[in-house]
């Protein structure tokens, strides 16, 4: 008889809305047990978990601010063995560089970059012990090209790419793959604050003539987590509709 494979466990940070929510649904449909992390949006996280359970999936809701190392360690302990970490939690903001305050700068780095540091450090001991695991971090096209009036965000997301590439070299001998997904302009709450004119302009600058969807990004993340990503590490995949070529 063929040995039955155990269900894999994925922890997705910032999973209550947007790309995180779409990613949770994609992993649930692929047969994973899904740990849904949230910081502030508990109702949305609970609603998502209920939706996944109603569809036959295993889902847990875990609260933590990824900028808080202690909270992250507690979250990972509650999650159990993490086979796949999707480090999606992030914040954004548009502001002239000269207007960025010290607190805004520190918070941007704390969530977008230090959050990855905390989460990866928390899951890696178990992955190294088992000699397998996948870490997928979310960056942005602005982490690749830089974005005007988004210096703090761009710097943090560029740091994510640097962390991913370096960590991939360090943990590769333990059969752990570390990769990055850097989305383009995606139709999420972060971009819905833009004016209609700005949204139209962004679509016109994109060769595929539309904004991406959270599901477009989720499919890229799921690819890295699946067998197709087994011999890929330290790489940046950018679903951006041709916005950056």
Catalytic center residues: 153
Q: What angle do CA 101, 93, 116 make, to 5 degrees?
A: 90
Q: Is 170 left (phi over 0), alpha (psi -120 to 50) or beta?
A: alpha
Pairing type for strands 33-38 and 84-87 reads: unpaired
Q: How far is CA 228 from the centre of its chain?
A: 18
SS3 137: strand
How many CA atoms lie less than 13 Å away from 6 in the CB half-sphere? 6
- Burial pattern 8-28, b for ≥16 Cβ within 10 A else e, equals bbbbbbbbbbbbbbbbbbbbb
Pairing type for strands 133-138 and 59-63 reads: unpaired
- Best CA proximity match to 235, nearest among 186, 167, 173: 167
Number of other CB atoms surrounding residue 172 within 10 Å: 13
Separation of alpha carbons 214 and 98, rounded Å: 32
């Amino acid at each position: 008889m063929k040995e039955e494979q155990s269900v894999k466990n994925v922890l997705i940070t910032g999973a209550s809305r947007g790309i995180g929510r779409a990613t949770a649904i994609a992993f649930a449909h692929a047969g994973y047990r899904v740990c849904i992390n949230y910081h502030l949006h508990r109702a949305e996280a609970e609603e998502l978990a209920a939706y996944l359970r109603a569809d036959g999936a295993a889902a847990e809701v875990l609260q933590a601010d990824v900028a808080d190392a202690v909270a992250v360690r507690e979250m990972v302990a509650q999650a159990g063995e993490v086979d796949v970490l999707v480090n999606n939690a992030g914040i954004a903001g548009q502001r002239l560089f000269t207007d960025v305050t010290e607190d805004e700068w520190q918070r941007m780095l704390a969530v977008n970059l230090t959050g990855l540091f905390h989460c990866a450090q928390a899951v890696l001991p178990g992955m190294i012990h088992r000699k397998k695991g996948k870490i997928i971090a979310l960056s942005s096209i602005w982490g690749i090209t830089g974005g005007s009036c988004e210096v703090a965000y761009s710097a943090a997301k560029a740091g994510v790419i640097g962390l991913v590439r370096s960590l991939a070299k360090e943990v590769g001998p333990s059969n752990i793959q570390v990769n990055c997904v850097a989305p383009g302009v995606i139709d999420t709450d972060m971009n819905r604050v833009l004016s209609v004119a700005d949204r139209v302009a962004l679509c016109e600058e994109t060769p595929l003539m539309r904004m991406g969807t959270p599901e477009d990004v989720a499919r890229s993340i799921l690819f890295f987590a699946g067998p197709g990503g087994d011999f890929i590490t330290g790489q940046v995949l950018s679903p951006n509709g041709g916005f950056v070529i």
